Amino acid sequence: MASVINGLDSIVAHMPGVRDAIGDETDASADRVRAVVAAHRHDGDLASGMTVRVNRVDGVVALEDPAVVSINYGHWARDGLTWVSGIHAIEAGL
């Protein structure tokens, strides 16, 4: 009969090999996001506002530009008639 060990998820999450794998995957995700951002760079603000952080049990790739939602998903141009497609950098990092 199988048994369940309480806290096993925390034990596994803190194992050195798992933490290394999380770091590697976070770096790979950040590289994919950087590639998309670099290909669509307008003024460099989005690229300079990107941070990559590997924590104890997870990793984060953050785009911190105030207009990141419009840049990523698209927006109407200032004329109000033209749709500007998003770059979908966030999806590239998934």
Q: Nearest to residue 88, comparing CAs of 32, 28, 44? A: 32
Q: Which pLDDT band, with edges at 50, 70 and 90, does 70 fall under?
A: very high
DSSP code at position 86: P
Q: What does the block give as tokens for 32?
A: 């994919």
Q: What does the block give as tokens for 76?
A: 């109407």
pTM of the model: 0.80
User: Does the structure show a pLDDT above 70 at 3?
Assistant: yes
The predicted-structure confidence for 28-61, as pLDDT tens digits, reads as follows: 999 999 999 988 877 667 778 899 999 989 999 9
Q: Which pLDDT score is estimated for 7?
A: 92
Q: Which pLDDT score is estimated for 43?
A: 67
Average pLDDT across the chain, whole number: 90
**CA–CA distance, 61 with 38 (Å, rounded to integer):** 15
Q: Nearest to residue 65, comparing CAs of 92, 35, 32, 42? A: 42
**CA–CA distance, 27 with 92 (Å, rounded to integer):** 13
The predicted-structure confidence for 14-24, as pLDDT tens digits, reads as follows: 998 998 999 99
